[in-house]
A = this chain, B = another copy of it.
Amino acid sequence: MPKTTVAIIDDHTLFAQSLKSLINTFDNYTVSYEAQNGKVFLNQLKGGGALPEIALMDMNMPILNGLETTAILNKEFPSIKVLALSMDDDENSIIKMIRAGAKGYLLKDIHPDILLEALNGVMRDGFYHTKLVSNSLVHSLHPISDNPNETSIEFLGRELEFLKLASTEMTYKEIAVVMNLSPKTVDGYRDQLFKKLNVKNRIGLAVYAIKNNLA
């Protein structure tokens, strides 16, 4: 029986190479593609040759990240089953990836056995979801939060700019100077974001910004 072919798309070469030697110890899998980012991977695919059956896709990559690459793969090479590999268990990221067409979402802190299980699951059922991801999907169906915008918060105008600055040690007065606004306008942005993100004070803003990689 021929082995199932796997592609590894990850800019952390050491991790990628380590992962390769791990996967090559699995009886039924072999690594047929390796790429440092989505752009490189797409070019490899367009170069011809047998497509991989599964793609292990890192999320944070330069040039073309995991989310973008997955969306493109789903259109142009729908036979490739994408398994997302990520450092963080942020619910929004998971939901976005699933929506982009990923067949599963794995954290980088899992046990190798789980990886094998996920590979088998994707080949057998077409998808693989851990309990964590399942929970996220459930949450995404009926928003628990009293903030209706929480699942897809969009920042308008200079809100994002303000949010980044609010996550520094600057006072609002200083932020106003930097943004070339009156302190009262800055007050307005602050109160607006308090409501939007459902937080009580500036600490809440900073925590949100950092955990969502905005600051």
Residues of chain B with a CB closer than 8 A to A21's CB = 18, 21-22, 25
* Bound-complex Cα distance A5 to B200 (A): 51
Q: Is A168 a contact partner of B203 (Cβ separation < 8 A)?
A: yes
A155 adjacent to chain B (CB < 8 Å): no
A85-127, CB < 8 A from B? 85, 87, 106-112, 114-115
Binds B, one of A43-51, A73-81, A182-190, A205-213: A205-213
Binds B, one of A8-16, A63-71, A128-136, A142-150: A8-16
Say which size band chain A's interface belongs to.
35 or more
Q: Which of B22, B25, B108, B201 contacts A12 (CB 8 A)?
A: B108
Residues of chain B with a CB closer than 8 A to A176's CB = none
Q: Is B202 a contact partner of A14 (Cβ separation < 8 A)?
A: no
Residues of chain B with a CB closer than 8 A to A112's CB = 13-14, 17-18
- Complex A-B, nearest 7 residue pairs according to Cβ-Cβ distance, in ascending order: A18-B18, A12-B108, A18-B22, A17-B112, A12-B109, A169-B200, A18-B19
